[in-house]
Structure 1
Amino acid sequence: MLTALVCGAVAFPGLFFSFRKALRHKFTHWSEADVLCVSERLVSAIHASLATAAGVTVVASCNDVMTDSHWLVNWFVSFGAPYMTFDIFAMYLSHYHTQRVRGHPSSSRGHSLQMVKAFLTKDWMLVLHHLALLLIFMPITLFFRRGLGDFFIGCLFTTEFSTPFVSIGKILIQLGLDDTRLHRINGIIVLWSFFTCRILLFPFMYWMYGRQFGIPLHRVAFHLPLHCNVGNLAILAPQIHWFILLLRKAKRLYLRQSRGKAGGDGRKTD
């Protein structure tokens, strides 16, 4: 466990600063905010890909959803913990330099409590999500589960499947490719993967539990301890919120592109 923790503490900051250096060299016209944003997204995509691979491996290896275990569960939770900590720092750096580029008054004073407060106000849900994983999910997984439920932990790892596509979308926008077919296809994949792996995943876990113990899906929640249902609801709620935001963003993009095409057709007619 300590080895995994140290590996994560070296790997994720190392990747971030390596990407930062490479992007500065490659895209000399980019601002520091651009470089930091893309670097953070690339590291996020790598962490999410590893989490998904670990999750699929664990889920595929567990026949009994309660008692079967896999060494990857505790190892990856320990390995990923430094990422959660560092990603909060990387998001803050990106926010700080973005405010400097925009000429925000608070950025003229450098790093300050006001800047930190503005960052927490803007990204409070993501920060809360990371802290909850560190302070609640990690201790429960490592110390209080009594070796039970590796299958469900593996399922939760796979919720990261949509993250690389979200990151790709941000990077395509940064590269000026937001009005391309590639960006539209990626957007469809984001919506599909997010809905499948972050929302439908929860009924799937309940169904798998019910199938093993001969309980109909609509009765499973009544056979589980209250804290299990509350925990699942606490994880599911922000996923629904983020999915609604993604739908709104997709709608705005679709309407903007439709207006652009209509304007183009009008000019051709004239």
Structure 2
Amino acid sequence: MLLTLTWGALFFPGLFALCTWGLRRARPEWTDTDCVMISTRLVSSVQAVLATGSGIIIIRSCSDVITDRHWLAREYIWFLVPYMIYDTYAMYLCEWYRTRDQNHRHSLTTFQNFLSKNRLMITHHAVILFVLVPVAQKLRGDLGDFFVGCIFTAELSTPFVSLGRVLIQLKQQHSLLYKVNGILTLTTFLSCRILLFPFMYWSYGRQQGLSLLRVPFSIPFYCNVANAFLIAPQIYWFSLLCKKAARLFDTPPAKKDG
């Protein structure tokens, strides 16, 4: 555990620093804000690829969705803990870079603005750290590695979300790449963050000889409550993505002067 936590604490901030340094050298015309924000998205994408890969390995290794074990189901969670702490700080750093023209110091106002603009994401990170990590590492005992793997694969949509934000940062939101990436974002988000939950119910029902509709009534009530809390923000974020996609395809590209 301690070794995995240490590697995570070194890997994610180190990768962020390396990306920021590399972008400043490779793209000297970019501002510090561009380099920091794009580096944050790159690190998030790397974490998402690692999480998704770990999830796929776990799912493929667990033929029994209840009792089969895989070491990644526990070790990757310890690797994820430093990332959540790093990512919270990285979000604050992005907010500071956005507002540093008005205030060159890390002020209380900047921190308050950060909390206000990112309250849902901060809550999401806090729930993972203080609720999901204890549940996944201690309270569930030796059961359910398959479902932990499924939750890991929810990160599949993150690289596409990150690419979309990078393209916006670079003012490429009217490009073909942005539109194609938008379709991929919606597809992966729907598949791996919303339809993932019916898939987990179906997988359990198939093993137990139950239909999908009977599964919610055949598992402990707290499991249904936990899944409801997990899927609720995903549905909200998906609705926001759909609204952005609708505006994108309804709004013609702005005409360039000259």
TM-score normalised by length of structure 1:
0.91
Structure 1 CA distance for aligned equivalents of residues 44 and 156 of structure 2: 11
The reply on whether 1:186 has 2:181 as its aligned counterpart is yes
Which amino acid in 1 is paired with 2:84?
M
1:84-116 alpha-carbon deviations (Å, 9 max, x no partner): 000000000001110224x3xxx35x2122221
Structure 1 CA distance for aligned equivalents of residues 243 and 164 of structure 2: 15
5+ unaligned residues in a row in structure 1: which ranges? Answer: 265-270
Shift of 1:30: 2.2
Runs of 4+ in 1 over 4 A off after TM superposition: none
Which amino acid in 2 is paired with 1:11?
F
The reply on whether 1:166 has 2:161 as its aligned counterpart is yes
- SS of 1:224 mapped into structure 2: coil
Which amino acid in 2 is paired with 1:27?
R
Number of the residue aligned with 1:267: none
Shift of 1:132: 0.9
Shift of 1:3: 1.3
Number of the residue aligned with 1:236: 231
Task: Pick from 172, 175, 189 the counterpart of residue 170 of structure 2.
Answer: 175
Number of the residue aligned with 2:35: 35
1:198-234 alpha-carbon deviations (Å, 9 max, x no partner): 0000011011111111121112111111211111111
1:186-207 alpha-carbon deviations (Å, 9 max, x no partner): 1100000000000000011011
Between stretches 25-34 and 15-24, larger displacement belongs to 25-34
The reply on whether 1:46 has 2:41 as its aligned counterpart is no
Structure 2 CA distance for aligned equivalents of residues 181 and 111 of structure 1: 38
Shift of 1:77: 0.3
Structure 2 CA distance for aligned equivalents of residues 69 and 126 of structure 1: 30
Number of the residue aligned with 2:199: 204
5+ unaligned residues in a row in structure 2: which ranges? Answer: none
Task: Pick from 108, 124, 130 the counterpart of residue 125 of structure 2.
Answer: 130
How is 1:99-118 mapped onto 2 (pairs within 5 angstroms)? 99-101=99-101, 103=102, 107-108=103-104, 110-118=105-113
Structure 2 CA distance for aligned equivalents of residues 95 and 256 of structure 1: 28
Shift of 1:153: 0.4
Which amino acid in 2 is paired with 1:87?
D
Shift of 1:177: 2.6
Number of the residue aligned with 1:248: 243
% of aligned pairs identical?
Answer: 46
Structure 1 CA distance for aligned equivalents of residues 3 and 57 of structure 2: 20
Answer with 1 or 2: which has the greater Rg. 1
Number of the residue aligned with 1:11: 11
Structure 1 CA distance for aligned equivalents of residues 249 and 40 of structure 2: 27
**Aligned Cα RMSD in Å?**
1.5
Structure 2 CA distance for aligned equivalents of residues 32 and 56 of structure 1: 36
- SS of 1:215 mapped into structure 2: coil
Structure 2 CA distance for aligned equivalents of residues 123 and 129 of structure 1: 10
Which amino acid in 2 is paired with 1:49?
V
Which amino acid in 1 is paired with 2:4?
A
Shift of 1:27: 2.2
1:127-182 alpha-carbon deviations (Å, 9 max, x no partner): 11111111111111111111100000000000000001111112222333322211
Structure 2 CA distance for aligned equivalents of residues 131 and 111 of structure 1: 22
Q: Alignment length, in residue pairs?
A: 256
Structure 2 CA distance for aligned equivalents of residues 189 and 177 of structure 1: 17
Which amino acid in 1 is paired with 2:208?
F
Which amino acid in 2 is paired with 1:74?
R
- SS of 2:78 mapped into structure 1: helix
TM-score normalised by length of structure 2:
0.95
Shift of 1:244: 0.5
- SS of 1:69 mapped into structure 2: coil
Number of the residue aligned with 1:154: 149
Structure 1 CA distance for aligned equivalents of residues 10 and 42 of structure 2: 16
Number of the residue aligned with 2:89: 89
Which amino acid in 1 is paired with 2:54?
A
Which structure carries more helix by proportion? 1
1:224-265 alpha-carbon deviations (Å, 9 max, x no partner): 1121111111110000010011011111111222x65xx79x
Structure 2 CA distance for aligned equivalents of residues 32 and 241 of structure 1: 32
